[in-house]
């Protein structure tokens, strides 16, 4: 195998993330949450590759989190994998319905329609108190892991490594998808939809495929976050959360699947430690960081890294950040 920075650095990051909780146990919950969110950010990145920004993807994060919580409640503790599966299936199902509608629109209309749908869902969560627990949300009891009841510490450890494996697997599969014929067709929606139609391909159906993939990723992240936090609240589906996903995608770099996780880890780290040390200026810090990214590294951190290590950042990533 070739020894170069482009393969070594990502491997080192994965390794560092994998061993960090062993050295500093307090980081474990933070990393679990960051990686769960990273999965949702990955979903947002899939759509950014088609040139579309969704400001409502927390919808799928929330749908899946609540679905997982209901399963957990309904079966007294529940089984982790069935919670995750039901969560993902629920978000996929909703994404087909919402997707059939929103893929008819582009750009600002696409973004705002997604926002609108997520706000409706958010208000339903608040309103139907008896089912959803209103703004207090629902608690998610610690589920069984493959039928085994675990202590909190052991479970958290298992959950962390599960999230890490799922994040790596999802990143790999998403990468494959984006490089496949259908993934490339989806990316042409950004550059020339007319030509795509003149190839005999329905641009709407192609975007719908991407939309469902992206919702599935958000769903997986949402269900994992629900289990990790032990509680789901309407805040999961809040529009601020959707904006956060977009923010992290731009920060990490929307041109590559790694950007989702690099951005997410960095974001959670800044948020946690800056708010601990610098009180309420953490949002200002993040704002300034984003400003610098947009001005000087529009392809995000991963794009900057690709440029520094000699690979020409793809124009896809350059533009998505602008």
**Which residues here bind other proteins, judged by CB under 8 A?**
173, 176-177, 179-185, 187-188, 190-192, 194-202, 314-316, 319
In the complex with other proteins, the residue whose CB is nearer, 125 or 185, is 185
In the complex with other proteins, the residue whose CB is nearer, 234 or 303, is 303
Cα gap 45→31, rounded to integer Å:
20
Helix (H) or strand (E) holding 232: strand 231-232
Cα gap 320→322, rounded to integer Å:
6
List the Cα angle 211/306/8 in 5-degree steps. 105
In the complex with other proteins, the residue whose CB is nearer, 220 or 228, is 220
Give bridge partners of residue 231 from the DSSP assignment. Answer: 139
Whole-number CA gyration radius for the chain: 19
Cα gap 63→173, rounded to integer Å:
23
Q: Least CB distance from residue 198 to other proteins, whole Å?
A: 5
In the complex with other proteins, the residue whose CB is nearer, 135 or 205, is 205
Q: What sign has the CA pseudo-torsion 219, 267, 31, 137?
A: negative
Q: Least CB distance from residue 313 to other proteins, whole Å?
A: 12
Q: Least CB distance from residue 67 to other proteins, whole Å?
A: 25
Taking Cα atoms as reference points, which of 33, 65, 54 lies closest to residue 213?
54
Q: Least CB distance from residue 194 to other proteins, whole Å?
A: 6
CA 23 to chain centre: 26
DSSP 240-254: HHHHHHHHHHHHH-T
Q: Least CB distance from residue 216 to other proteins, whole Å?
A: 12
In the complex with other proteins, the residue whose CB is nearer, 86 or 213, is 213
Cα gap 23→165, rounded to integer Å:
19
Q: Least CB distance from residue 268 to other proteins, whole Å?
A: 30
In the complex with other proteins, the residue whose CB is nearer, 61 or 177, is 177
């Amino acid at each position: 195998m070739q020894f170069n920075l482009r393969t070594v650095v990502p491997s080192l990051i994965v390794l560092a993330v994998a061993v960090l909780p062993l050295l500093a146990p307090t980081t474990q919950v933070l990393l679990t949450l960051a990686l769960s969110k990273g999965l949702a950010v990955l979903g947002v990145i899939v759509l950014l590759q088609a040139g579309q920004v969704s400001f409502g993807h927390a919808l799928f994060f929330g749908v899946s989190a609540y679905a997982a919580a209901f399963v957990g409640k309904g079966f007294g503790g529940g089984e982790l994998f069935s919670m995750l599966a039901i969560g993902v299936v629920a978000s996929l199902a909703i994404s087909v319905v919402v997707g059939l509608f929103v893929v008819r629109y582009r750009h600002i209309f696409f973004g705002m329609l997604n926002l609108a749908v997520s706000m409706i869902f958010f208000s339903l969560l608040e309103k139907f108190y008896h089912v959803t627990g209103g703004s207090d949300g629902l608690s998610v009891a610690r589920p069984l892991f493959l039928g085994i009841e675990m202590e909190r510490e052991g479970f958290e450890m298992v959950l962390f490594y599960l999230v890490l494996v799922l994040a790596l697997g999802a990143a790999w599969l998403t990468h494959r998808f984006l490089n496949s014929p259908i993934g490339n067709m989806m990316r042409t929606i950004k550059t020339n939809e007319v030509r795509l139609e003149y190839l005999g391909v329905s641009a709407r159906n192609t975007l719908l495929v991407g939309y469902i993939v992206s919702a599935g990723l958000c769903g997986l992240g949402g269900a994992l976050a629900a289990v990790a936090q032990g509680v789901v609240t309407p805040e999961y589906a809040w529009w601020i959360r959707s904006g956060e996903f977009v923010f992290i995608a731009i920060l990490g770099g929307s041109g590559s699947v790694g950007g989702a996780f690099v951005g997410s880890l960095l974001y959670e780290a800044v948020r946690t430690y800056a708010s601990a040390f610098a009180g309420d200026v953490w949002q200002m810090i993040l704002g300034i960081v984003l400003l610098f990214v947009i001005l000087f590294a529009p392809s995000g951190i991963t794009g900057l890294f690709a440029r520094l290590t000699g690979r020409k950042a793809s124009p896809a990533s350059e533009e998505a950040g602008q």
